[in-house]
Amino acid sequence: QLQASGGGSVQAGGPLRLSCAASGRTFSSYAVGWFRQAPGKEREFVAAITSSGSRTQYADSVQGRFTISRANAKNTVYLQMNDLKPEDTAVYYCAACASRFSGWATRDQYEYDYWGQGTLVTVSS
């Protein structure tokens, strides 16, 4: 079970950190991704991290502004979002899937088996 939190309203240029807390003892063997869905748009990939945290992937639109990380001892994955823009406004979801092999992560949402409930991020100009 995944629970996303940390969303809220922020002005453009500001930071926000999202958290994804997981229950279960095998979290450290799961790759985790963040996705977002803006009103009237399809859900899109934001960032992903391997089970160990050694490798990460980012969408071009957030590269250099967002950082995904994880603390397996706390069963938590974070998404640090800096220099937020109005176009980052969306409901953000975290998702997890069993790692296929060491160093594996994916930006394909259909590969993910478990999803959190979403947290709303609103960026005003």
Name which residue leads in pLDDT, 70 or 103.
Answer: 70
Residue 79 has pLDDT above 90, yes or no: yes
Residue 99 has pLDDT above 90, yes or no: no
Supply the pLDDT for residue 35: 98
5 confidence band (pLDDT: 50, 70, 90): very high
Strand partners, 65: none
Which whole number is the average pLDDT over 63-71? 98
* Rama region for 40: left / alpha / beta (φ>0; ψ in -120 to 50; rest): left
3-state helix, strand, coil in the chain (%, to 5): 10, 50, 40
The letter for the amino acid at 84 is L
* pLDDT tens per residue, range 15-48: 999 999 998 778 889 999 999 999 999 999 999 9
